[in-house]
Amino acid sequence: MSRFRVVVTRRAERDVAALDHATRGRIKKALLELQEDPTRRSKKLTNSDIGQLRLRVGDWRIVFDLEGKDVVILRVGHRREIYRGR
């Protein structure tokens, strides 16, 4: 049984839906990993305007917040674009 619950925002759902099939699979696998221990491979963001933490999946980043036992996925994007304010 997983220790954390992953909650995906609508914006993050749209981000994932726009990815190619192979990348989408890698992202989904990483989301399952976040259920077990969201802090194991993640790093704290210095600018918390877009989120508290990020998980690196190759050139892609998953930006999320921890709210109790919920891992709230805020954005998923390429490393070149994810940190820009949009």
What domains are there in the chain, each with its CATH number? Answer: 5-78 (3.30.2310.20)
Radius of gyration of the chain (CA): 12
pLDDT digits (tens, 9 = 90+) for 7-22: 999 999 999 999 999 9
Closest by Cα among 74, 84, 77, 85 to 23? 77
At 24-68, the pLDDT tens digits run: 999 999 999 999 999 999 999 998 888 999 999 999 999 999 999
C-alpha span between 86 and 76 (Å, rounded): 13
| 67, amino acid identity | E
Q: Which of 57-61, 72-76, 80-84 has the lowest mean pLDDT?
A: 80-84
Instruction: Name the residue among 11, 62, 17 with its Cα closest to residue 78.
Output: 62
The pLDDT value recorded for residue 65 is: 96
- pTM exceeding 0.85: yes
Element (H, E) at 30: helix 21-36
Q: What is the mean pLDDT of residues 62-83?
A: 95
